[in-house]
Amino acid sequence: MTEPSTRTVQRALTLLASVCDRGSTTLAEVAREADLPPSTALRLMRTLETAEFLSRGDDNNYQPGPRLIQLGAKAFSREMLVPLSREPMQEVVAATGESVYLSVPGADETALYISIEEGTFSVRHTNWVGRTVPLEGSAAGKVLRSETPESGYVALENTIEEDVTAISAPISAGGRVVAAMSTLVPTYRLSEQRRSACGEALVRAAGTVSAALGE
């Protein structure tokens, strides 16, 4: 790599780090922090935005983009997320009997299942580890898009599969949702009381993992 190319990469990484540190920021702020002309910063940040490492909100502020969050979540899954989640997921199984999944953002607006703790019911959901589901219309997708209601969990019926209710709660790190913890339950055995019990168990377990990750 030539020196100008190396300098371009270094500048882009400096801008990216500045946005991540601030969470949400303006072009002027990061250009000033990186000691770059606004025109240079804009060109680099547009490239990062095109690659989905950055995104812009309605206020035109820059924030970490879906590709960056996806990569971060995958890093957590390999190094921290799965082992940290194992015991809390087992606690959900003990409390509900239902299988519990862990998912992270996947490619092309999907959620990727990366871990499961099998439930104790003879009829339970098929192991989906390694599969993806669309973010749109799925409980895990709503959680990963930070669309969780005040209850702390999302519950959706008959979305990806008929006769299955998906219940999902967010796992956060550094103030951002990085994963979803979910149960996929045959709808016929899910009363309103049982739905609440599953959701509350997931919220407790996801909260434990979030605290360990530095929520």
Nearest to 179 by CA among 69, 54, 21, 63: 69
The predicted pLDDT at position 18 comes to: 85
Residues, the chain: 215
- Identify any residues that bridge with 63 across adjacent strands, giving them in sequence order: 55
Hey, where are the domains in the chain?
3-64, 68-213
**What's residue 101's pLDDT?**
94
Q: Report the pLDDT value the prediction gives residue 3, as an integer from 0 to 100.
A: 47
Give dist(CA 71, CA 105) in Å, integer.
8
Contact 119, 90 (CB under 8 A): no
Q: What is the pLDDT along the chain (215 residues), one digit of tens a residue?
A: 454 678 888 888 888 888 888 888 888 888 888 888 888 888 998 888 888 888 887 788 888 887 777 677 666 655 678 889 999 999 999 999 999 999 988 888 899 888 999 888 776 666 668 888 899 999 999 999 999 999 999 999 987 777 889 999 999 987 889 899 999 888 888 899 999 999 999 999 999 999 988 76
Region 68-213: CATH code: 3.30.450.40
Q: How far apart are CA 169 and CA 39, in angstroms?
A: 41
- Provide CB contacts within 8 A for 146, sequence distance 6+: 170, 176, 177
Is the domain defined by 3-64 classed in CATH 3.30.70.270?
no
- The reported pLDDT for the residue numbered 190 is 86
